[in-house]
């Protein structure tokens, strides 16, 4: 697309490389604070910039950086938001590698070094290369501890940061580094779990509060504010045929309106327009609800806005991650939606020609996504050839054992299995509806690990007989339904109960009825799509005798596993040729009849597993077999270590499945995991056997005492 004269003038005016550094409006009146900050930096003291979202932290960081550059102070700028696969546990490793890169120092095997050793080596290398600079000011933007960390890991993470700063006082080589950290997390959060307050490691803290970005005129400095006067003209321009695809101009206008105050440059430094634009992309919008963004992106739906939002941040997402539909803000978008959205912005580019100087703003940024999705989709896809838009995930029932599915899915998704249809019965129905609602695996791990499953047993012991006689089950299951309802409503921001049709992904749930075919709840079926999702799950997990069966069309509805515990054949009967992966809870190999268990347990096995063996034999190559023993279907009182064991069994089963398909070459990892699971299973089995024996002894003792009391009472009277 060739710009017209009006657009050329706009680019020259608003992307002028010679424009001097100025303080943004949202920091005006705080010049003394900035001066104080630079004095601290030049004295070699570490500082922290803290504030909530959109309060100008990055603006202040860039402003301080520009002031440092003006005073010939060597700087390194690191944004942890732009680090691929960012993980707080590898904070120090990323920090060192980014410092090597930013300071153009040859990498000296830092990944093999411990924290202090590697930083000291880097310090020595800098000492020999930049002798004229007493300090290296390291600006760390978007510093944060990610949500997946356990409390122990968070403590280690924060202590690592504190050690980096405290050790400066001990090791001369580390005195080279002065840290400026920008974070939206509170100081109390940063201090949580550390041996001493992390804030004590910083000499100065800038707290940014109440800096409103609600008004564009208040935000934008001159001459940027002039663009407001011609906003209507720009909107008119982007609708004309001469502008080609309008979306890059919308992005460009929004960059100018909202994000310009986050970019500053030294007077003595020149940048070409390409560099200016790319740097702007790194610091673009974080708030899609801004009125200007909403106004300028008419025509993009929510999914497309999310994708544009992620690309605008210029985050280094791997092809595998975007292939999975996993974006960095934790939302999941399916492959067809990504491809459709990218078609709209496929040709985004602005070309400015002046004295044979040509710039393409977007091709370098978007090229790998377009290439992957539109040109070499099959060849460039990850090694898993089945990961496409029609891959279904089928999950067998299994009560509380369903937690193992989360462990398996983490490995499958890591190898680029992309599911957009979730099918399940009983425990599989719970997982299906939560995955269909867009819950991430980290969220599911936290929710299911922290949940006390005894909460679902919502009846007192004295209510059991009447519930069983009159309603056909011991527990009403109301608390379970309420729990699912609340989770879905919070996730999807729904004011009322979430229906199946409200779920972002297709979900199919199976339940059982006497004298009828399986009851099917499908979010794509007009007859069932308006069913409340929590009710559908509740129908499917009505374990016989345990939970009161629901009613549908006057008939009792029982656990879906009674007719279709592993519903592969019924699903393929309705959808021949469907590609799927199944998650199956059961022994990996046939081990004979074994010892007889409790009568109720044996009945449940007969009802729920009578057709499983044949289905497993027919579709073994597409099935991940998870052996959760000794955990049983109705072990509602799982301890934390037992929940972790279930996650490990799922992970091990997925690793074996992937190894059979040639997607994992490292046998040592699988063997090591298998040995660890075996040891934990043996330990659990022994522990549970002892607990069962103890319970039997207690029951026998109580019965014996009762008998003795009755006999004694009879003899004495």
- At 633-683, the pLDDT tens digits run 777 778 888 888 899 999 899 988 888 877 776 777 788 888 888 888 888
- At 357-389, the pLDDT tens digits run 222 223 333 333 333 333 333 333 333 333 344
Would the pLDDT of 71 be above 60?
A: yes
Would the pLDDT of 311 be above 70?
A: no
- At 571-622, the pLDDT tens digits run 887 777 788 899 988 887 765 555 555 555 555 555 555 556 777 777 888 8
pTM above 0.85, yes or no: no
State the chain's mean pLDDT as an integer: 63
Q: What's the confidence (pLDDT) of residue 271?
A: 33
CB 50, CB 208: distance < 8 Å? yes
Return the percentage of the chain with pLDDT > 70, whole number: 42
Instruction: List, as one string, the DSSP characters of 77-114.
Output: EEEGGGSTT--GGGHHHHHHHHHHHHTT-----GGGS-
CB 142, CB 131: distance < 8 Å? no
| Position with higher pLDDT, 133 vs 639 | 639
Question: How far apart (Å, rounded) are the C-alpha atoms in residues 603 and 32?
Answer: 77
Q: What's the confidence (pLDDT) of residue 121?
A: 66
Q: Which distant-in-sequence residues (6+ apart) come within 8 Å of 114 by Cβ?
A: none
Dihedral angle at the C-alpha atoms of 179, 182, 184, 186, nearest 10 degrees? 30
Would the pLDDT of 534 be above 80?
A: yes
Phi and psi for 207 in degrees, rounded to 5? -100, 115
- At 270-296, the pLDDT tens digits run 333 334 333 333 333 332 333 333 333
Please write down the long-range contacts of 484-488, taking CB distance under 8 Å and 24 or more positions apart.
484/430, 484/433, 484/533, 484/534, 484/537, 484/538, 485/532, 485/534, 487/434, 487/437, 487/439, 487/447, 488/433, 488/434, 488/437, 488/533, 488/534
| Position with higher pLDDT, 432 vs 371 | 432
Angle at CA of residue 223, ends 219 and 227, nearest 5°: 75
Q: What's the confidence (pLDDT) of residue 119?
A: 61
Q: What's the confidence (pLDDT) of residue 162?
A: 65
CB 87, CB 145: distance < 8 Å? no
Q: Find the DSSP H helices in 283-415.
A: 291-296, 302-312, 319-324, 335-344, 363-370, 377-380, 404-414
- At 374-429, the pLDDT tens digits run 333 333 333 333 334 468 899 988 888 888 899 899 888 877 687 888 999 888 88
Tokens describing residue 236: 């008119």
| CA quadruple 208, 210, 216, 217: dihedral sign | negative
> What mean pLDDT comes out for the span 48-65?
63
Would the pLDDT of 210 be above 80?
A: no
Q: What's the confidence (pLDDT) of residue 432?
A: 92
Phi and psi for 638 in degrees, rounded to 5? -60, 135
Phi and psi for 2 in degrees, rounded to 5? -95, 130
- At 694-709, the pLDDT tens digits run 888 888 888 888 888 7
Integer CA distances (angstroms), 673 to 331, 645, 666, 677, in order: 30, 11, 12, 6
Would the pLDDT of 506 be above 80?
A: yes
Residues in the chain: 717
CB 471, CB 556: distance < 8 Å? no
- At 229-253, the pLDDT tens digits run 333 343 343 333 223 333 333 333 3
Place of tokens 């929510």: 302
Q: For residue 564, is it left (φ>0), alpha (ψ between -120 and 50) or beta?
A: beta
């Amino acid at each position: 697309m060739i710009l017209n004269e009006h657009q050329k003038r706009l680019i020259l005016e608003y992307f002028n490389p010679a424009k001097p550094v100025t303080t943004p409006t949202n920091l005006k009146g705080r010049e003394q604070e900035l001066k104080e900050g630079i004095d601290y930096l030049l004295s070699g003291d570490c500082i922290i910039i803290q504030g909530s979202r959109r309060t100008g932290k990055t603006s202040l960081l860039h402003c301080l950086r520009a002031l440092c550059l003006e005073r010939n102070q060597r700087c390194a700028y690191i944004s942890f938001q732009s680090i691929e696969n960012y993980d707080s546990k590898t904070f120090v490793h990323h920090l060192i590698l980014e410092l090597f890169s930013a300071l153009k120092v040859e990498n000296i095997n830092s990944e093999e070094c411990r924290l202090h050793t590697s930083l000291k080596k880097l310090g020595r290398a800098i000492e020999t290369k930049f002798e004229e600079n007493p300090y290296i000011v390291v600006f760390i933007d978007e510093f944060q501890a990610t949500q997946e960390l356990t409390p122990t890991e968070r403590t280690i993470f924060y202590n690592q940061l504190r050690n980096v700063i405290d050790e400066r006082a001990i090791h001369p080589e580390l005195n080279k580094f002065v840290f400026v950290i920008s974070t939206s997390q509170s100081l109390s959060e940063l201090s949580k779990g550390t041996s001493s307050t992390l804030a004590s490691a910083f000499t100065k803290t800038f707290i940014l509060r109440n800096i409103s970005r609600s008004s564009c005129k208040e935000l934008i400095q001159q001459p940027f504010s002039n663009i407001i006067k011609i906003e209507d003209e720009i909107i008119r321009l982007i609708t004309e045929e001469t502008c080609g695809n309008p979306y890059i101009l919308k992005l460009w206008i929004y960059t100018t309106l909202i994000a310009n105050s986050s970019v500053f440059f030294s007077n003595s430094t020149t940048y070409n327009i390409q560099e200016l634009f790319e740097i702007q992309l790194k610091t673009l919008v974080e708030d899609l609800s801004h009125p200007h963004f909403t106004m300028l992106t008419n025509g993009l739906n929510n999914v497309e806005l999310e994708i544009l939002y992620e690309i605008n941040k210029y985050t280094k997402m791997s092809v595998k991650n975007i292939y999975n539909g996993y974006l960095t803000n934790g939302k999941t978008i399916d492959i067809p939606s990504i491809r459709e959205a990218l078609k709209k912005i496929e040709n985004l580019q602005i070309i400015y020609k002046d004295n044979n100087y040509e710039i393409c703003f977007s091709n370098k940024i978007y090229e790998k996504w377009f290439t992957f999705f539109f040109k070499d989709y099959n060849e460039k896809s990850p090694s898993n050839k089945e990961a496409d838009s029609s891959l279904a995930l089928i999950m067998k029932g299994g009560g509380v054992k369903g937690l193992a599915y989360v462990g398996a899915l983490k490995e499958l998704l890591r190898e680029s299995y992309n599911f957009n249809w979730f099918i399940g019965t009983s425990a599989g129905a719970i997982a299906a509806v939560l995955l269909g609602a867009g819950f991430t695996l980290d969220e599911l791990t936290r929710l299911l690990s922290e949940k006390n499953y005894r909460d679902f047993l919502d009846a007192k012991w004295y209510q059991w007989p009447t519930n069983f006689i009159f309603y056909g089950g011991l527990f009403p299951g109301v608390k379970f339904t309420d729990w699912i309802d609340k989770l879905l409503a919070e996730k999807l921001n729904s004011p009322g109960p979430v229906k199946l049709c409200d779920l972002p992904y297709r979900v199919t749930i199976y339940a059982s009825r006497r004298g009828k075919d399986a009851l099917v709840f499908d979010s794509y079926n007009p007859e069932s799509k308006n069913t409340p999702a929590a009710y559908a799950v509740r129908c499917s997990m009505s374990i016989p005798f345990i939970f009161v069966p629901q009613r549908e069309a006057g008939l009792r509805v029982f656990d879906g596993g009674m007719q279709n515990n592993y519903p592969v054949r019924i699903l393929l009967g309705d959808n021949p040729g469907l590609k799927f992966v199944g998650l199956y809870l059961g022994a990996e190999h046939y081990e004979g009849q074994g010892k007889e268990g409790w009568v109720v347990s044996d009945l449940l096995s007969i009802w729920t597993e009578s057709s499983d063996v044949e289905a497993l034999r027919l579709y073994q190559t597409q099935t991940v077999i998870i052996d959760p023993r000794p955990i049983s279907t109705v072990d509602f009182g799982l301890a934390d270590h037992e929940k972790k064991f279930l996650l490990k069994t799922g992970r091990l089963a997925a690793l074996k499945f992937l190894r059979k398909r040639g997607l994992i070459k490292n046998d040592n990892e699988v063997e090591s995991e298998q040995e660890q699971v075996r040891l934990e299973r043996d330990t659990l089995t022994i522990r549970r056997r002892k607990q069962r024996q103890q319970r039997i002894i207690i029951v026998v003792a109580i019965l014996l005492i009762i008998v003795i009391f009755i006999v004694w009472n009879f003899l004495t009277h």
